[in-house]
């Protein structure tokens, strides 16, 4: 086992500058000013304010990148227009980086590499097929670095790239190929943290959905106990627009706050219910992310511009069924949790956040947090893909192709007991 000789240098400034609804090293306006001249180079042809498509008023933007090898439209959300605009741009550019990776790859089987290379724990990775990896099957591998040990590790390229055009590379179809854990930032640690939070969020929401507590009152948060002005203001915007809001604290055994919310029109003849999720060490930020994501989901559905929304979702039958299910959940809830019960840690620095998150993961026997640096020197925008063996991938329903890992299998078994 060898340690990397090419670690990323530490960021000069780990201090958080912007703390309104999110934590950033620059304000959203400053970030956008830096990126705006590069939009044509990124292939972004349009950045649009689509907030007005819905009547809620929480800012949502979209960035169009027609030549994308995944989606061609990327959404962004935030507590104000600047935050939503740069959110859309960052999502578009981070996916660009993952579509056109210029790092060395190896085509080999696990058995060919495992004695001469340090390998990620392949048994803990999210799968696309129940049988998992054939150790003698040749697939593409890429090198990342474990954030816990500093040691370079090889991991499946399928979990890192975002080029979803056909034909896929040899050996594809083994692992769950999504954009989970792909993130950008103003600094390397900011990007890495955003990526880790996303992986923790997907793990927590999956475990909750598979548990006997899913959609119930025990983990529903009493909205009257939410004392953060930003989050309370977002909820007020939904309610003044005629929507009901439900929030669940779905945090797992990993001590990072994760919230999941459901919003739906009180008038069941209009709109479609939508959900949002968010994770962060700071509970206020985690909840703000969940609420703004729900607003983004509503506006995205209305815009109808995403290739990943099936046309069936727009049929009258599908909308009525979603409304019925949402209303049955809301009408039966008696929230039992206070917002102050959530995990919560507020620091002034990204390096302190990263150490706290690593400690939280290691406390649950996570031994690998592998980051692949996808930053392109030409653009100099930090982009990271983080893979954490042992955590669950996203469960989107019985038809999603999700394959339960060990943590999910344990939850399912407990529910069946």
Report helix, strand or coil for 179.
coil
Closest CA to 182 of 263, 90, 259: 90
CA distance readout (Å), 151 to 148, 173, 199 = 8, 27, 21
Return the half-sphere exposure (C-beta side, CA atoms, 13 A cut-off) of residue 164: 13
Could you report the per-residue pLDDT of 66-111, keeping only the tens digit for each?
999 999 999 999 999 999 999 999 999 999 999 999 999 999 999 9
pLDDT tens-digit readout, 204-241: 999 999 999 999 999 999 999 999 999 999 999 999 99
pLDDT above 80 (res 368):
yes
Token duo for residue 44: 């972004």
* Cβ atoms of residues 294 and 262 within 8 Å: yes
Predicted confidence at residue 91, as pLDDT, reads 98
Query: What whole-number distance in Å separates Cα of residue 79 and Cα of residue 55?
Result: 15
Whether the per-residue pLDDT at 398 is higher than 80: the answer is: no
Q: What is the pLDDT of residue 5?
A: 34
Residue 233's H or E segment, with its range, is helix 229-240
- Give tens-digit pLDDT for 170-194: 899 999 999 999 999 999 999 999 9
Q: Which CATH class is domain 215-251+258-340?
A: alpha beta
Tokens for 365?
A: 């026997």
What is the side-by-side strand order in the sheet with 60-64? 46-49, 60-64, 73-77
pLDDT higher than 90, residue 332 = yes
Q: What percentage of the chain's residues is helix, strand, coil (to nearest 5)?
A: 35, 20, 45
Ramachandran area for residue 152 (φ above 0: left; ψ -120 to 50: alpha; else beta): beta
Report pTM: 0.95
| pLDDT at 87 (0 to 100) | 99
The ranges assigned to domains in the chain are 215-251+258-340
Cα separations in angstroms, 68 against 16, 76, 92, 97, 178: 32, 17, 9, 11, 15
């Amino acid at each position: 086992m060898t340690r990397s000789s090419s670690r990323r240098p530490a960021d000069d400034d780990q201090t958080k500058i912007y703390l309104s609804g999110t934590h950033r090293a620059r304000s959203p306006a400053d970030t956008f000013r830096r990126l705006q001249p590069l939009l044509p180079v990124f292939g972004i042809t349009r950045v649009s304010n689509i907030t007005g498509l819905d009547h809620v008023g929480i800012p949502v933007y979209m960035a169009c990148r027609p030549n994308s090898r995944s989606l061609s439209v990327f959404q962004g959300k935030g507590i104000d227009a600047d935050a939503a605009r740069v959110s859309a741009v960052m999502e578009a550019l981070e996916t660009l980086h993952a579509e056109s990776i210029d790092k060395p790859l190896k085509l080999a089987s696990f058995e060919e590499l495992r004695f001469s290379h340090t390998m990620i724990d392949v048994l803990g990775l999210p799968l696309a097929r129940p049988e998992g990896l054939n150790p003698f099957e040749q697939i593409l591998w890429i090198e990342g670095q474990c954030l816990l040990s500093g040691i370079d590790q090889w991991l499946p390229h399928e979990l890192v790239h975002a080029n979803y055009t056909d034909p896929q590379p040899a050996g594809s179809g083994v692992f769950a190929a999504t954009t989970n854990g792909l993130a950008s930032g103003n600094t390397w640690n900011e990007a890495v943290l955003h990526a880790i939070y996303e992986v923790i969020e997907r793990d927590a929401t999956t475990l909750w959905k598979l548990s006997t507590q899913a959609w119930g009152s025990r983990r529903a948060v009493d909205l009257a106990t939410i004392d953060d002005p930003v989050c309370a203001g977002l909820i007020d915007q939904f309610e003044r627009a005629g929507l009901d809001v439900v929030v669940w604290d779905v945090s797992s055994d990993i001590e990072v706050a994760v919230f999941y919310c459901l919003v739906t029109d009180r008038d069941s003849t209009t709109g479609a219910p939508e959900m949002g999720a968010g994770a962060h060490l700071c509970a206020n930020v985690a909840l703000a992310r969940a609420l703004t994501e729900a607003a983004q989901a509503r506006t995205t559905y209305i815009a109808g511009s995403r290739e990943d929304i099936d046309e069936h979702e727009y049929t009258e039958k599908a909308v009525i069924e979603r409304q019925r299910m949402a209303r049955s959940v809301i009408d039966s809830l008696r929230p039992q949790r206070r917002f102050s019960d959530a995990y919560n840690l507020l620091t002034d620095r990204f390096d302190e956040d990263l150490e706290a998150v690593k400690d939280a993961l290691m406390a649950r026997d996570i031994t690998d947090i592998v980051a692949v640096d996808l930053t392109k020197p030409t653009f100099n925008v930090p982009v990271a893909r983080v893979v954490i063996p042992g955590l669950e991938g996203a469960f989107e329903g019985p038809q999603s192709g999700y394959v339960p890992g060990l943590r999910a299998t344990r939850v399912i078994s407990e529910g069946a007991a």
